[in-house]
Structure 1
């Protein structure tokens, strides 16, 4: 018979009663946690209810504030002007969208000028109905017409015929077509008396279509607009130069784009331009695709552009040789811009052409710009010594050396009327040279010298111009380190952004710039 007797003690020295007591305690704790969890859920429900109540009152606040916002308080004329701006920038549905917001916006959107921007496109489902609506709302306002003729079909032509009934109200016309054949067909319909028409933009490209022996250029421009007595501005984007242009225009922009059909005859182009007696502003854009352009015979006399005051040449470097074949006796502004990356060496052909142009025309230039174009140092010297009326010099990615720019130093330096300098990415120019230039001309003023003081200097991303040099110039004249003009060529290209530099400059010289030195005239923004 066994002598073993069961006991209430475990192998670890804890009795079964103690285990039961611990389990009971755990159960009590779990019940307490469940009670707390229930209370938490109740509090969360209350919090959610309070959040909903708070959001309700926030919505009421927003609604109240909405009744006193500037947009609600603004006069209808201001709102109408805003809606008109939206339509002018290309938002074709701006009048419709604005008129569906509220009664006040609807009232402002019914202003005739808001509906004066007419967009006739091939993609419209019902162009005639849309045209009827826009014309009925525009009433007698001047019309700014945009015609996008990717496909010319019967509904499109019906809408255009209705639009042509109001041709006397046209103020501007933009015509975009896939081919010049379409553009010619539509222009042939625009022969009405457009007395108010002032600006025309045409985008169409020549190409040989099925059944045609060869590609033809854009023709019919002179006939289409001969009854538009007030037409001043003509902008053409194509791959060939028109054979005839409206003779009354004063501002011509010709942009050669995409694929060339063959060599462009510069001689023929200049002959066409010479037929414009009132031409004051000329822009020629020729990318590298057109580098096979045929230059005129050097034996021919230069083309006389007797009324031209502003000339933009934007193209591949050799395109600047066109300067050798024109004479502009009253030219005031000359802009030479490259469509190609900088060559990083002087372009001799441009220098030769510019010297020939200045020598033969003797233009009274007031502004000279080189953008991504460099010429030999001797040609820079020739320009400075032969442009006594120059008031503004703009250099972008142009490696002009210190000794050449020093020719402008006062009191009897070259270009005595120079007042404004705009220098960007000029890697060879030192800050000391610029400071000396500004100081020498300011001293000349006090001594009644011949040189005008420098009134404005812009320096952007010039590696050898230190911050102290910028501040030194700012103590003598207005100095800027930012692109200010909204229409600036560099702003559109984004090549002269220097936000970090301006932040560092402001931080390092905060005491001077925030009022410690009132003699500093520095523009940072």
Structure 2
């Protein structure tokens, strides 16, 4: 930049006459002195006016420089924007990102992103961006939205969500537009107020669905006539593998041969809570021979009556079982035999009992007799007798992870897991929340007993199967686990004082937030805790 103008700026230097040096008497100035003083004032005022003019010129130069600087900064910003990753992403990857946004619940994502810039508008032309169609039939012009969406999706897979109110005049027209595209349906989610509307949708959809993978049916109540949801018309779906059913009663169907994942949520109103019939449960499962993941959940806290029965159903491929029910319903375990089960999650849907629930412990032990391959056992607010813990340990030689929430397990039961000759030799992870009968010293002793013999004695470690030592211990809100116990555990393994984010059931319930305890622990140790303490 040429800086010559800066050196050519001439600032006038008007001589400054001191009035004190000119007057003959400061206390009593004469007439001549007063005339001289007036001349000095006039001279200084003229000098100020000249300086103001020069200052204005310099301010205008400064403003011109500031504007030039802003222009250069804006040019830099635009230049850098051309170098960002977003500018260099190929349209195929952008389209995948937009599709993920729509899948996560941002229903207007395809419309919004297509109005950002030409590059995004080009990426939004990919048909898969428009694959997720969310229709709330309470809003107006649903048919117009369907027509617009189908024109964009072309032949890409369709993931449809229908939210149907009690009265929906546009339902017939919407179904009339969607049914001709039935071969593109990959996911269908239907939400209705009662079973009558749901059955009407099923009757309209009584045609082959060759590519349907996932079906979610959510019904708040049965109809006033007591009409149950009838899924008989949805049998011709050879690729259907995932089912989510939310309704007051257990679903019934003739056969869904390919379903591998079933999640049943039994909803209930304040006026009527239907019982759970074991016979209906067995008949439901017998129609799912390939089932691998099964969840039964009660939508509201409280208890349900359970009608027991003697017959059982074999689930040879079941690997994951989750029961989020009241303690009285845990007897449903006796209706199933799952020899290949890997994970068992028992969670209480009602308020925790003040004492162990004896029938739950007996049912659990009897169920585990036919499930010797369980690797993960979680008991969430499902407390059993201590003798039942011992029996569970005997029945689980392959157990790798134990999760207990609000349990009465004590030191005596942990001692049964000590050393290479203890129960559950493959146990590698412990996760204890609100276990107030358990001491920290018991956890330390258990972890130390699982160390290789050479490592315990301070010698060079010898080779030993890694599954025989405890890899991680989580302790959250356990009354008798002290700070020194945490530090002792951290010397031998990972000690976690934090939930596992969304993998932990406590994360959604918010019952094990120990932020204040973890903050105090950091401050006491000046943020210099071992890396093996996970905060």
What TM-score do you get using the length of structure 2 for normalisation? 0.80
* Partner of residue 68 from structure 1, selected from 58, 80, 83: 83
User: Retained in 2: the 8 A contact 1:380–1:404?
Assistant: yes
Corresponding residue for 1:477? 493
1:152/1:191 CA distance change after superposition, 3 Å = farther
* Partner of residue 251 from structure 1, selected from 250, 261, 286: 261
What displacement does 1:393 show? 0.7
Unaligned residue ranges in structure 2 (runs of 5+):
1-40, 455-461
Partner deviation per Cα, 1:254-302 (whole Å, 9 max, x = no partner): 10113174532422222222232112221111256673423224xx233
Partner deviation per Cα, 1:72-129 (whole Å, 9 max, x = no partner): 3333233222211211111111100110111111112222211110122203422222
Partner deviation per Cα, 1:179-203 (whole Å, 9 max, x = no partner): 1111111112223322221111110
Give yes or no for the alignment of 1:492 onto 2:508. Answer: yes
Q: After TM superposition, list the pairs within 5 Å mapping 1:55-454 onto structure 2.
A: 62-151=77-166, 153-209=168-224, 214-219=225-230, 221-224=231-234, 226-244=235-253, 246-248=255-257, 249-259=259-269, 261-267=272-278, 268-286=280-298, 291-297=303-309, 300-359=310-369, 361-443=370-452, 452-454=468-470
Query: Which deviates the most, 461-470 or 312-321?
Result: 461-470
Query: Which deviates the most, 119-128 or 384-393?
Result: 119-128
1:49/1:470 CA distance change after superposition, 3 Å = farther
What displacement does 1:159 show? 2.4
User: Retained in 2: the 8 A contact 1:337–1:370?
Assistant: yes
Supply the distance in 2 between the matched residues of 1:509 and 1:464 (Cα, whole angstroms): 24
C-alpha root-mean-square deviation of aligned residues, in Å?
3.4
What displacement does 1:48 show? 10
Partner deviation per Cα, 1:136-174 (whole Å, 9 max, x = no partner): 222222211111111564533222222121111111111
What displacement does 1:232 show? 0.8
Find the residue that maps to 1:165 and give its secondary structure.
helix
What displacement does 1:522 show? 3.4
Supply the distance in 1 between the matched residues of 2:366 and 2:307 (Cα, whole angstroms): 15
User: Retained in 1: the 8 A contact 2:365–2:392?
Assistant: yes
Partner deviation per Cα, 1:426-465 (whole Å, 9 max, x = no partner): 2222221111111111136959699811222222222322
Find the residue that maps to 1:79 and give its secondary structure.
helix
What displacement does 1:512 show? 5.3
Find the residue that maps to 1:486 and give its secondary structure.
helix
Unaligned residue ranges in structure 1 (runs of 5+):
1-27, 514-519
Supply the distance in 1 between the matched residues of 2:255 and 2:520 (Cα, whole angstroms): 53
Query: Which deviates the most, 481-490 or 433-442?
Result: 481-490
1:290/1:478 CA distance change after superposition, 3 Å = closer
Supply the distance in 1 between the matched residues of 2:157 and 2:249 (Cα, whole angstroms): 31
Q: How many pairs align?
A: 480
User: Retained in 2: the 8 A contact 1:264–1:292?
Assistant: yes
1:51/1:216 CA distance change after superposition, 3 Å = farther
What TM-score do you get using the length of structure 1 for normalisation? 0.82
Partner deviation per Cα, 1:386-426 (whole Å, 9 max, x = no partner): 21111111111212111112211112111112122112222
Supply the distance in 2 between the matched residues of 1:45 and 1:375 (Cα, whole angstroms): 84
Find the residue that maps to 1:464 and give its secondary structure.
coil
Query: Which deviates the most, 104-113 or 493-502?
Result: 493-502
User: Retained in 1: the 8 A contact 2:372–2:398?
Assistant: no
Find the residue that maps to 1:104 and give its secondary structure.
helix
What displacement does 1:318 show? 1.5
User: Retained in 2: the 8 A contact 1:197–1:231?
Assistant: yes
Supply the distance in 2 between the matched residues of 1:233 and 1:378 (Cα, whole angstroms): 38
1:54/1:467 CA distance change after superposition, 3 Å = farther
What displacement does 1:177 show? 0.7
